[in-house]
Structure 1
Amino acid sequence: MPDYRLHCFAQSGNSYKVALMLALCELDWEPVVVDFFRGATREPGWRAEVNAMGEAPVLEHAGRRYSQSGVILTYLARELGRFGPADLDEELEILRWILFDNHKFTSYFATHRFMFSLSGKPADPAVLSFLRSRIDGALGIVDKHLAEQPFMVGSRPTIADFSLAGYMFYPIAETGYDLAASHPHIHAWRERIVALPGWKPPYDLMPAAPLAA
């Protein structure tokens, strides 16, 4: 059995954050597909057995389960001694960007993408407009930051990059955002991440969950 098992699905950018870390570290891991669109994470049994929060990803390792992508990335960085902080200042800076990502970057972007292309029903244009206004603000902050340095916390990639990259590699048709055209510094950062040995896009790293009928 592989050393690591990741409950995930390819459409989940939060799952991709962890899958990317596992791939870049060349770990022996197994994806366990979560049947998200057909309600698996709302099932009492799934919540009792996998994650009471009703969310993916969930990482199994050494007899324990870990949830929340930021927690999992932190655990892996400490366990492996890779892509983590070099000192306390970097530790706090990584945490700062992961918290920003969870609250303002991934949250709005992921919700917009779900409503835009994955929910299976027409989205309210006013809601999409509201989300885009928040997304554009968050993207602008990150684009400006990356104009000054190659990665989120200086000159090398860390788990802060993997956290913010979670939803940055999905097709334009899914996201509604052409980041190469609209945010050149984010796009250049994406290209630097793509160049890391072991990188793969989300649909190549994890099985996709079937969409609801």
Structure 2
Amino acid sequence: MARYRLHCNGGSGHSYKIALYLNCAGLDWEPVGVDFAGGQTRDPQWRATINAMGEVPVLEVDGRLLSQSGAILLCLAGTTGHFAPAADQRFEALRWLLFDNHRFTNNFAMHRFQNCMTPRPADPAVLAFLRARVESTFAIVDRHLEARAFMLGDVPTIVDFSFVGYLWYPASETGFDLAEYPSIDGWRRRLAALPGFKPPYALMPVGTSPPVRTA
């Protein structure tokens, strides 16, 4: 059994943040599939034994069950040293992690779900509202990345793994062409050049996600 066991499913960008970190850090890990589409995370027993919050990812390590992707990344950086922010970057790292979870990833993930994973097409007004929120946060990050290779400077840190969570899912799912954001697109491709990089469905070929609606 691998030291790190990641409870996840292929469609979860929050899970991908952790899976990609573990793979690029060269850590001994394995994915454990969660039947999200079948309601496993809503099952009282699963919540009682795995995660009371009813969410993935959950990282199982040394007898502990860790949840919330930002907190997991902070824990991994602190315990392994891989992709850890420098001492004088810790405030900036936390600031951007909170911005990502509250706005950048949050908005993009909600738009993706409404764009292709609801049983019926979303209300156009709802989709337009979410799209405007994504565009606003993307503009902030695109400007931030104009003058730096990675989120905190010249080298990748856990902040980069947090922000990239949903950016390698296909445009047919997300509804966004990242070529329209050249700084973001260039940055995510620099991350893709790291040893150990794989896109989400290849890295987490486990569990189930809501079916992608094609019309």
TM-score after normalising by structure 2: 0.95
CA separation in 1, counterparts of 2:135 and 2:2? 40
Shift of 1:211: 4.7
Corresponding residue number in structure 2 for 1:132: 131
SS in 2 for 1:66: strand
What is the CA–CA distance in structure 2 between the aligned matches of 1:115 and 1:40, rounded to whole Å? 21
- Equivalent runs, 1:86-101 vs 2, <5 Å: 86-87=86-87, 89-101=88-100
Residue 212 of structure 1 and its aligned partner are, at CA, apart by: 5.2
* Whole-angstrom CA distance in 2 between matches of 1:27 and 1:50: 22
Paired with 1:192 and 1:118, the residues of 2 have a C-alpha distance of 29
**CA drift at 1:179:** 0.4
Give the gaps of 5 or more residues in structure 1. Answer: none
User: Which residue matches 1:119?
Assistant: 118
Please name the residue that 2:11 is paired with: 11
Name the aligned partner's letter for residue 29 of structure 1.
W
Deviations 1:90-146 (A, max 9, x none): 111111111000011011100110111122321111100000010000000000000
Relative distance call for 1:126 and 1:60 in structure 2 (3 A) is same
Give the length in aligned residue pairs: 211
- 185 and 2 in structure 1: CA distance in 2 versus 1, 3 angstrom threshold: same
Q: Which residue of 1 aligns with 2:34?
A: 34
Q: Does the 8 Å contact 2:11/2:209 carry over to 1?
A: no
Whether the 8 Å CA contact 2:10–2:206 is kept in 1: the answer is yes
Contact 1:9-1:207 at 8 Å conserved across structures: yes
Moved over 4 A (4+): none
- For 1:168 and 1:148, the matched residues in 2 are separated by 20
TM-score, normalised via structure 1 length:
0.96
Residue 52 of structure 1 corresponds to which residue in structure 2?
A: 52
SS in 1 for 2:152: coil
> Are 2:170 and 1:198 equivalent residues in the alignment?
no
Residue deviations 1:157-211 (CA, integer Å, cap 9, x gap)? 000000000001000000000001x100000001100001110000110024335
Distance 1:59 1:210 in 2: 18
